[in-house]
Amino acid sequence: MSTDELGLGATIRAWRDRISPEAVGRPAGHGRRAPGLRREDLADLAGVSVDYVVRLEQGRAAHPSAQVVAALARALQLTVQERDHLYRLSGLQPPGPGVIGEHIPPGMQRVLARLGDAPTAVFAADWRLIRWNHAWAAALGDPSTVPPEERNFVRVRFPVPGEHARISAWPVDSTSQEATDRAVVADLRRASGRYPHDPRLAHLIRRSIDGNPRFARFWHEGAVGSHAEDRKTIRHPSVGDIDVDCDVLVDTATDLKIVVHTARPGTEAASRLALATVTSTPADA
């Protein structure tokens, strides 16, 4: 077996070929020549250009950044062992056990793909938005143009001057803002116990304490807990207000959070949510 067949480009091609479009929520289509994902599919899912995927697979870009490797691992639905192998092929050290992870296990990715009608997203332990489905982009706006560090629920709820954080393109109001904000801060304190040496989390907490007095007040109360549910109103610009239940499901092994928005069946909100989804251009990430 040649070195080329063992390298980064050949490995990415092999992983891309084994994934069906349906596994990532894409239509199979007709006339597809590739047995799995097309390069265009992988580029879109990972948030990179098609040209960059071509250069990776041809060996002309042998050292992608850690951020790109993490995005490729999620898009290719790699296991933890495969993700670590991808890091090493890229000349990088895999994430350590004390660092907040953004790798989404294949099973969680299947859930995300199959909850097609419900706006669903995955957040890391520090509440950074890392993946969403088409229904999320349709109901809350496509966040793909927002820099990753600004796609953070803590930064949205507790703004500081000079930042432009957002996870939705239009207003989303909570019916219990005080309780939700306290729960998010308590959840962040819980994360600080799980990841005491994570620099990204430490920076987020210090930034929030120093820059937002409300966060500082909640933080110094010392509560430890989790954010499990909320009732929200999405102020959608096209279909009108949509009242939804927001439920947070946590994977205890990774501390990833699946956030699902649903409308009560048979209500006007359910009809508006369905309308928003079917009339929007697909924008999964």
Q: Read off the pLDDT of residues 62-77 as tens digits, 9 standing for 90 and up.
A: 889 988 998 999 899 9
Question: What pLDDT does residue 252 have?
Answer: 87
Question: What pLDDT does residue 92 have?
Answer: 92
pLDDT over 60 at 30, yes or no: no
Q: What mean pLDDT do residues 208-215 have?
A: 98
Percent of the chain with pLDDT over 70: 93
The phi-psi region of residue 30 (left if phi > 0; otherwise alpha if psi is between -120 and 50; otherwise beta) is: beta
Confidence of residue 210 (pLDDT cuts 50, 70, 90): very high
Percent of the chain with pLDDT over 90: 69
Q: Which residues contact 253 (CB under 8 A, 6 or more apart)?
A: none
The more confident residue out of 68 and 24 is 68
Q: Read off the pLDDT of residues 198-208 as tens digits, 9 standing for 90 and up.
A: 999 999 999 99
Confidence of residue 1 (pLDDT cuts 50, 70, 90): very low
pLDDT over 80 at 266, yes or no: yes
Q: What mean pLDDT do residues 191-204 have?
A: 94
Length of the chain: 285
Question: What pLDDT does residue 33 have?
Answer: 63
User: What phi and psi, each to the nearest 5 degrees, are found at residue 243?
Assistant: -85, 125
We find that the CATH architecture of domain 3-89 is Orthogonal Bundle (1.10)
Tracing tokens 């999320």 back to the chain, one arrives at 136
Question: What pLDDT does residue 189 have?
Answer: 96
pLDDT over 90 at 2, yes or no: no
pLDDT over 70 at 162, yes or no: yes
pLDDT over 90 at 271, yes or no: yes
How far apart are alpha carbons 130 and 42 in whole angstroms? 16
Question: What pLDDT does residue 23 have?
Answer: 77
Q: What mean pLDDT do residues 271-281 have?
A: 88
Domain ranges, ordered by start, for the chain: 3-89, 106-278
DSSP-derived secondary structure letter, 148: G
DSSP string for 180-224 = HHHHHHHHHHHHHHH-TT-HHHHHHHHHHHHH-HHHHHHHTTT--
Q: In this structure, which topology does domain 106-278 adopt according to CATH? A: Beta-Lactamase (3.30.450)
CA distances (Å), origin 176, targets 36, 159, 182, 202: 45, 18, 10, 27
